Structure 1
């Protein structure tokens, strides 16, 4: 099951687009500190500057201990957001809480969000594809982790092996038939033998990418992708976000005489 933090991320960051209520509330309140710091021509802003700030800069203002609770709440927002992020949210002359909220999230954009949330897909299929990409399908092995009582762990389709994410897409008899049809359409027999172990690592997200090595406290000089050098190397980056990966996908789409799946590249 996906964590609440993951679910609350914007879709471009790999989440479902829900908002964390506390963080969103802070982003909405930040509209007031934006108005104060920009010294908007508003009566209450002038009153704040006259009574509290008295010509001082809002971001360096020292809060006295006997101040009112609402002014203390506003001043404490300075610990939540930086001056640059607040200013960027109101760069057009109108403050957008959504921009500040997204900028406050310390996450990188994922490369699969446009394929998953394409308008050409049905809504329920978009959610299912999101579960597939994040290995969050309610397969029997995932249900077992949460101690959900099950009569059997065997795959209900083939009945030969335990149902898991890897089995569902590569090991099940039905999955193999689908793959045979795909290989036939591509005019090839099967995965090359020398790539099978590598493919197993890919399916199970076991490649020794820098983010996986970091989990085991392997000392690294840098987390940046050695190919593009722009983003941290991870499983998702390696196959969807890296500049080289996008070039390879372009070549494959050209070979298949199709444009996209649908997937637009930045």
Structure 2
């Protein structure tokens, strides 16, 4: 039974979640790839088909769609609103970098400013005869290294005041353009590398509109996540202990802890104050050669490795052992509860040592770690 909120479960680990991610975010990221491809794959047959179906010569757009035409492309374009909620504007996400100017649309691509020039200079765009022209058609005379020259193709020779002002602004902007030998390329603005990736965009979506909590559970890749989840849930008091079950109106005949048979069973009691657990922790302290463990709550146990004046790897090993200890105590609790077993500290300690050794040896890539050194905790410096 899992009572952890789903939003908490799918949250990134840096936000205190399991890092599973959302299927919705994954789907949005994969659909956004088609925005990237539409911008960058100008010669693709699929793009030409989309253009032929959705292009409207009376309503130009850099990402075009006809609302009256149903189909998957209409659904792909509709994802923009979902991205805007995460402060990601797909209309401004792709910027072209000019080299020879043969693959970049002068008016329809984002290359000179954050917005395409047809949006920045709408009056001039109305006068343009060849609205799908590329940068090389308008800038330069075709021979690289020659003096700066602009080649216009207007539908009229007389400009009004607004058009003249826009033309002067455009000429001023184009003054910094210098065509050169090379292939034009595109950059994805939401990644430092400039390359689009579904995983990178998904990470942005998962982290959007989240506040980092003051305390974040620390995961340890030397221990399987299914093991560390016991400690993760216990810190939030989300394990199905007897007190937790009773709080949710689930009938429980006896709330007492079966490991000590003295106090009510909550996560804090089971892992911290229970006499059975205290014996386990003191044996762990003796084995790991650290001072006796004095803990007042679950957080004290999870922070135990941070207070040790040892090497970084040794701290990580102690942290892994702590997580495995939570798992071992919980397994013993379940065995006593559901299989009528008897509480056995020796069995729990042996299981903790054996399983922690197996996981740490293989996951830390310390192939030379021997069982004897592990039992004496003479490892990792």
Q: TM-score scaled by structure 2?
A: 0.44
Indicate yes or no: 2:239 matched with 1:137: yes
Instruction: State how far apart, in whole Å, the 1-side matches of 2:51 and 2:5 are.
Output: 43
Instruction: State how far apart, in whole Å, the 2-side matches of 1:257 and 1:15 are.
Output: 24
Stretches of structure 2 lacking an aligned partner (at least 5 in a row):
95-187, 320-381
Select 1:57's aligned residue among 62, 69, 74: 62
Select 1:125's aligned residue among 214, 227, 235: 227
Q: Aligned residue for 1:47?
A: 49
Q: Aligned residue for 1:152?
A: 254
User: 69-78 vs 49-58, which deviates more?
Assistant: 49-58
Q: Judging changes above 3 Å, is the alpha-carbon distance between structure 1 residues 142 and 16 closer, same or farther for their aligned structure 2 residues? A: same
Structure-to-structure mapping, 1:18-57, within 5 angstroms? 18-52=20-54, 56-57=61-62
Instruction: State how far apart, in whole Å, the 1-side matches of 2:280 and 2:18 are.
Output: 29
Q: Aligned residue for 1:101?
A: 202
Instruction: State how far apart, in whole Å, the 2-side matches of 1:124 and 1:71 are.
Output: 40
Instruction: State how far apart, in whole Å, the 2-side matches of 1:85 and 1:134 are.
Output: 39
Instruction: State how far apart, in whole Å, the 2-side matches of 1:143 and 1:113 are.
Output: 26
Asked whether the 8 Å contact 1:9–1:19 carries over to 2, the reply is yes
Instruction: State how far apart, in whole Å, the 2-side matches of 1:98 and 1:113 are.
Output: 22
User: 179-188 vs 131-140, which deviates more?
Assistant: 179-188
Indicate yes or no: 2:121 matched with 1:66: no
Task: State the superposition RMSD in angstroms.
Answer: 3.9
Asked whether the 8 Å contact 1:89–1:97 carries over to 2, the reply is no
| Pairwise CA distance, 1:163 | 0.8
The Cα offsets for residues 86-141 of structure 1, whole Å up to 9 and x where unpaired, read as: 83369565x532222221023349754442xx2x3245423323323443222112
The Cα offsets for residues 133-165 of structure 1, whole Å up to 9 and x where unpaired, read as: 443222112222333222211111111111112
Stretches of structure 1 lacking an aligned partner (at least 5 in a row):
204-235, 241-247
Q: Aligned residue for 1:165?
A: 267
Aligned length: 206
Q: TM-score scaled by structure 1?
A: 0.60
Instruction: State how far apart, in whole Å, the 1-side matches of 2:263 and 2:314 are.
Output: 37
